[in-house]
Amino acid sequence: MAGTEITEQVDQLMLPSPPPLTVGIAIDGRSKSKYVVRWALDKFIPEGSVRFKLLHVHPRITTVPTPMGNKIPISQVREDVAAANRKDVEWQTTEMLLPFKKMITQKKVQADLAIIESDDVANAIAEEVTKSNINKLVVGAASHGMFTRRVKKHNLTSRISDSIPGFCTVYAVSNGKLSSIRPSDLESNSSIRDDSSKTSCSTNSGGTYTSSSHRDSLLAASYSHCRSSSLPMQRFQALSYINTGFLNSGTSTLEAKHSRSQSVISEELDKDVFRSDIFDSNVGYSETQNSSFQSSMTDPQSFTTYQGNTSDAPSDSPSHESRENINFELEKLRVELRHVRGMHAIAQTEAMDASRKADELNRRRLEEAMKLKEIKLKESIAEKLARQEKERYEVARKEAVHMMASAQQEASERRHVEMKTSRDVKEKEKLENALHGHVQQYQTFTWEEIVSATSSFSESCQIGMGAYGTVYKCSLHHTDVAVKILHSNENHNSKQFQQELEILSKVWHPHLLLLVGACPDHGCLIYEYMENGSLEDRLKRKDNTPPIPWFARFRIAWEVASALVFLHNSKPKPIIHRDLKPANILLDHNFVSKIGDVGLSTMLHADSSLSMDTGPVGTLCYIDPEYQRTGLISPKSDVYALGMVILQLLTAKPVIALTHTMENAMENGSLVEILDREAGNWPHEETKELALLALSCAELRRRDRPDLKDKVLPALERLKEVADRATRAGISTVRSSPPNHFICPILKDVMKDPCVAADGYSYERKAIEKWLEENDKSPMTNLPLAHKNLIPNYTLLSAITEWNSMEKNAPL
């Protein structure tokens, strides 16, 4: 047949590829792709060893279909869903390409599948050609009528041809016929060398048809040199030479073929329409081809031209070919239907699962929201309770702190009250016991202690001797004392001695000599030691001692008078000294005066062993004249002796006839002449007032003497103030350190509240109480204490108070 011959002649124009041959077939999977496959099989299997590779490019998967027919971007679905969709697309593609692969394998030729995912079909196929080293590439071309429409230069086939590397030859096939060829570089070069004319493309195409060899050379030249022209036009120009000789002789044959072709084309169009309804996602099929093709079939002139293009289509029995096509399409439809059913079932299952999961997630969301709401409510309640608890805790803590402070304060006050109460109770008990005579108020010393302290009454310790006893200086319990040993061995056994001893121990006054203790068994009295001796010795300046200044003498007169007032007003009975004289007035280191032998003269007067047992007790010239005459004693007897002592303070002269001398001096106005000039500049008026007071105290008759408390003491107090002013004005007096018995053995400082412990020593109360809290032994002897009772030492306290007063009044 003429069409077959033309096709064979065109096929003979293709340059053979060197073995081994790898042929790539680019198909889109539609029904017309079988023509491309069949053409490739018919073309390259006879050439020898060949391997086919089916190439299919599908666009990149960017969306995922839903059971409802919608599409979701792949970025919005889970990875497992995207992977499942990708596998499903690959499976569909593989199922779609299996019939084409079966066509190749039925020829007992090796066939491979290459499914490529890309949006750029031309570049994807070019990369696969390079990768797989494909020598020949067969692609499908659009079946446009060459006389009815112009060919686009930039269609898919052209882009593929331009993208394929130069080592590969590209065949464009349309409806089972070769549409165009893009030869490889090797084929193109050889064709150019064999062409001697080297004319342009238009000259070669316009030559007349003379022989088959000449036409082959023209076609090869046109394919190699006119690549820029459209392939349908080249095909038309090449076939115009061949079809010219057949137009007149093949009219009847063309009509018969036209009827068969029209029926086949109608069937194919129906199949394509049916397929497009089911598989709307396939690409590469154009409806314009159908319309243009049908229009060409209805046009008688164009039909002849189309007959030339399609005369080489499969000319077997149309019914057999239609059945094959129908079976092929039905097989594909069955596969696709099974796939659609499977996808539908999967989609339904996934939809149900998704709905169930959505419901479950919604239910969980609601439950979590309720739980979250409950948690927030509980948290709010807990915070409120925590704040309330914190507030209650703060209130309770403040109350506890306040109560603790109150309890501590109350406990402190209670301890203070208990201590004060205990001390008051002890003092009360002591006073009661003292009133009942049950408590011994003086310290008792043993005879051995006295003997040891005085070195067996050594003469070196003797500091004086009187009518009733001898006085020794010694140290007992780290305190300097004066020990007076009575001459009579029976005095200490008499009832009167014991009574007077107890009275003397209970009497305390700053200007009465302090009784430190006694040894009743041997008639020993222990007094505080007076450093400056007696007033008599100081007035006589014994041992060349300095004179006593006039203001100190004013003060001494007041001190002696205050002590006498104290004795005269003591209870239950007044105490009469009866032996007041300068020898019995002692001076300490600050020239503070204290009266000694209080009550002793009366006791000694009762001693029958004394020579003056029937006469008045006292010293001549100091004894009250009425007392001498009548034997009656009264407080004014001591006033008389005080007057004589004051006269001696003024004059420092012997007491004999001293009153007469003073009276004459007062009458003659020569008082200054009889005053002791060594005492300093006496103030005239105050000295005269003191002299007159002394003379009134020394009156012979008792009733003429002034009252000691109401008259004498106030007057002496005024004079003492004059003396104090003189002292403050800068007139010096003698000052020295405090006596040793004023010093606390523990604190080594002057005591403020002295008390006697069980060891017989005097201590500061606070110091000894603290000592007794931690110790049971004496701080002085380190011997166990018999008890921890403390006895106030009022006598020592009075002495310390007087000394402090003198220290304050003494100038710096």
Domain ranges, ordered by start, for the chain: 2-244, 441-529, 530-736, 739-812
Angle, vertex CA 113, rays to CA 107 and CA 114, nearest 5: 145
CATH class of 441-529: alpha beta
Kindly list the distances between the CA atom of residue 592 and the CA atoms of 50, 552, 586, 715, 735, in Å, as whole numbers in the listed order.
Answer: 154, 9, 8, 19, 11
Query: Quick one: residue 449, left, alpha or beta (phi over 0 = left, psi -120 to 50 = alpha)?
Result: alpha
Kindly list the distances between the CA atom of residue 171 and the CA atoms of 14, 103, 546, 554, 695, in Å, as whole numbers in the listed order.
Answer: 9, 19, 160, 161, 175
d(CA 72, CA 151): 38
d(CA 697, CA 655): 14
Q: Which of 315, 273, 441 is nearest to 794 (CA)?
A: 441
Q: In this structure, are residues 556 and 585 in contact, taking their beta carbons and an 8 Å threshold?
A: yes
> Is the torsion defined by CA of 264, 267, 269, 272 positive or negative?
negative
Q: Which two tokens stand for residue 639?
A: 């006033």
Within 13 Å and on the Cβ side, how many CA atoms surround 15? Answer: 26
Tell me, what's the pLDDT at 589? 84
Q: What is the pLDDT of residues 607-654, one digit of tens each?
A: 333 334 345 677 888 888 888 888 888 888 899 999 999 999 999 999
Q: In this structure, are residues 47 and 15 in contact, taking their beta carbons and an 8 Å threshold?
A: no
739-812 CATH choice from 3.30.40.10, 3.30.300.30, 2.60.40.10, 3.40.50.150: 3.30.40.10
Q: In this structure, are residues 621 and 654 in contact, taking their beta carbons and an 8 Å threshold?
A: no
Fold of 530-736: Transferase(Phosphotransferase); domain 1 (1.10.510)
- Report which DSSP code applies to 708: I
d(CA 545, CA 734): 12
pTM (2 d.p.): 0.41
Instruction: Give helix 287-298 / helix 300-310 axis angle, nearest 10°.
Output: 120
d(CA 618, CA 597): 11
Block residue for tokens 């499903």 = 88
- What is the rounded end-to-end Cα distance, in angstroms, of the chain? 165
Tell me, what's the pLDDT at 35? 86
Tell me, what's the pLDDT at 387? 92
Which residues neighbour 466 within 8 Å (Cβ) at sequence distance 6 or greater? 583
Which DSSP string corresponds to 573-641? Answer: S-------SGGGEEE-TT--EEE--TTHHHHHHT-TTSTTSSS--S-TTTS-HHHHHH----HHHHHHH
Tell me, what's the pLDDT at 219? 38
Q: In this structure, are residues 181 and 169 in contact, taking their beta carbons and an 8 Å threshold?
A: yes
Tell me, what's the pLDDT at 730? 52
Helix %, strand %, coil % of the chain (to 5): 55, 10, 30
Q: Which of 534, 530, 556, 553 is nearest to 545 (CA)?
A: 534
Tell me, what's the pLDDT at 263? 42
d(CA 375, CA 367): 12
Measured in whole angstroms, the distance separating CA 521 from the mean position of its chain's CA atoms is: 80
Within 13 Å and on the Cβ side, how many CA atoms surround 609? Answer: 11
Tell me, what's the pLDDT at 379? 92
Alpha helix stretches (DSSP H) within 454-549: 495-506, 535-539
Q: In this structure, are residues 750 and 800 in contact, taking their beta carbons and an 8 Å threshold?
A: yes
Q: Which two tokens stand for residue 504?
A: 């003397």
Kindly list the distances between the CA atom of residue 382 and the CA atoms of 368, 370, 385, 397, 582, in Å, as whole numbers in the listed order.
Answer: 20, 18, 5, 21, 96
Q: In this structure, are residues 587 and 599 in contact, taking their beta carbons and an 8 Å threshold?
A: no
Which DSSP string corresponds to 540-576? Answer: TTGGGPPPPPHHHHHHHHHHHHHHHHHHHT-SSS---
Q: Which of 28, 272, 312, 579 is catalytic?
A: 579
Query: Quick one: residue 60, left, alpha or beta (phi over 0 = left, psi -120 to 50 = alpha)?
Result: beta
Residue numbers belonging to the annotated binding site for ATP = 484
Q: In this structure, are residues 604 and 610 in contact, taking their beta carbons and an 8 Å threshold?
A: yes
Low-confidence ranges of the chain (pLDDT < 50): 1-17, 145-153, 193, 195-317, 437-439, 601, 603-614, 731-735, 811-812
Tell me, what's the pLDDT at 432? 64
d(CA 413, CA 405): 12
Which residues neighbour 717 within 8 Å (Cβ) at sequence distance 6 or greater? 558
User: Is 579 an active-site residue?
Assistant: yes
2-244 CATH choice from 3.40.1390.10, 3.40.50.410, 3.40.50.620, 3.90.226.10: 3.40.50.620
